């Protein structure tokens, strides 16, 4: 009887152990990424889940400067992808990075206008025309810093009706008719589904933004975080980014 009881106890413990393994928490990844990466990273996230069965990905998309502020104030994340090197440098200086960031894409500004360009905007200088409602990103946001760089180079000073905290907000104002024009990335126009048209201008080549990505020291699963970085910088991720209009770093 004692032997039978021992065997039954051992079997019960083994079953409990198996049950515990099967119901344990899955791998969960939190990615903080620039607003302009929303479409591409969402797509890459689906591929990531396919490549890593049982893993889940949670994205927080916003202006890069806002994301850095959140991280320095204690927000928890595993991966950070910024729309410029300046904000990634801020994260590095705050001691948030687990390793060196990797540049994975570049993006260029264009002028978003209503379909058909009813205001006849052809150049960057046209954005300074009186009576034109123009929206830009705030100076601390990468798209805003790029706008300021072009203003300085061309000596054309804009008088925007608003300065937004994310490039997607600029796009939204133009696509809904709240603004006549806005400075966004070429990828934003390409991904707008025809809600806006884009007007390219040569001066934009002087303010190209480089996108870096890095794993963070607070990552709950550093290996999983590194796998996401490798997917973004690898052939599959690069193909998604190229299809959206991003250029190589």
Position 19 scores a pLDDT of 35
This prediction has a pTM of 0.86
Position 16 scores a pLDDT of 40
167 is in an annotated binding site: yes
The architecture (CATH level 2) of 28-105+211-244 comes to 3-Layer(aba) Sandwich (3.40)
Position 26 scores a pLDDT of 62
pLDDT, tens digit, for every residue of 53-95?
A: 999 999 999 999 999 999 999 999 999 999 999 999 999 999 9
Residue, of 148 and 19, whose pLDDT is higher: 148
β-strand 28-34 against 56-62: which pairing, if any? Answer: parallel
185 is in an annotated binding site: yes
Q: Over 90: is that where the pLDDT of 13 sits?
A: no
Q: Over 80: is that where the pLDDT of 9 sits?
A: no
DSSP secondary structure letters along 111-150: EEE-TT-TT---SSGGGGSTT--EEEE-TTSHHHHHHHHH
Q: What is the CATH number of domain 107-206?
A: 3.40.190.10
Across residues 89-113, what is the average pLDDT? Answer: 97
Domains 28-105+211-244 and 107-206 alike in fold: yes
Q: Which segment of 8-22, 37-51, 54-68, 218-232 scores lowest on mean pLDDT?
A: 8-22
Across residues 94-104, what is the average pLDDT? Answer: 97
Position 22 scores a pLDDT of 33
23 is in an annotated binding site: no
Q: pLDDT class for 21, splitting at 50, 70, 90?
A: very low
Q: Over 70: is that where the pLDDT of 23 sits?
A: no
Order of all β-strands in the sheet with 197-199:
162-164, 134-137, 181-185, 109-113, 197-199
Position 46 scores a pLDDT of 97
Axis crossing angle, helix 235-243 with helix 222-233, rounded to the nearest 10: 50
Across residues 130-158, what is the average pLDDT? Answer: 97
Position 206 scores a pLDDT of 95
Q: Over 80: is that where the pLDDT of 25 sits?
A: no
186 is in an annotated binding site: no
Position 131 scores a pLDDT of 95
Listed by start position, the domains of the chain span 28-105+211-244, 107-206
pLDDT, tens digit, for every residue of 185-224?
A: 999 999 999 999 999 999 999 999 999 999 999 899 999 9
């Amino acid at each position: 009887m004692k032997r039978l009881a021992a065997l039954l106890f051992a079997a019960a413990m083994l079953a409990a152990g198996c049950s515990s393994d099967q119901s344990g928490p899955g791998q969960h990844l939190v990615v903080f990424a620039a607003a302009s990466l929303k479409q591409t990273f969402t797509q890459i996230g689906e591929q990531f889940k396919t490549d890593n069965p049982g893993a889940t990905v949670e994205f927080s998309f916003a202006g890069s400067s806002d994301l850095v502020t959140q991280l320095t104030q204690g927000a928890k994340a595993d991966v950070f992808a910024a729309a410029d090197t300046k904000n990634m440098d801020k994260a590095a200086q705050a001691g948030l990075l687990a390793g060196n960031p990797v540049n994975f894409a570049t993006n260029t500004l264009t002028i978003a206008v209503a379909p058909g360009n009813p205001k006849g905007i052809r150049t960057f200088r046209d954005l300074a025309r009186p009576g034109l409602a123009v929206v830009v990103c705030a100076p601390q946001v990468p798209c805003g810093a790029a706008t300021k760089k072009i203003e300085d180079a061309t000596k054309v000073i804009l008088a925007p009706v608003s300065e937004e905290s994310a490039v997607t907000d600029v796009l939204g104002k133009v696509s809904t008719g709240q603004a006549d024009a806005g400075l966004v990335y070429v990828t934003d126009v390409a991904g707008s589904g025809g809600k806006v048209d884009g007007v390219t201008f040569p001066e934009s080549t002087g303010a190209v933004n480089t996108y870096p990505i890095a794993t963070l020291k607070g990552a709950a699963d550093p290996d999983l975080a590194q796998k996401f970085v490798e997917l973004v910088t690898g052939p599959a991720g690069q193909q998604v980014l190229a299809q959206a209009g991003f250029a190589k770093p």
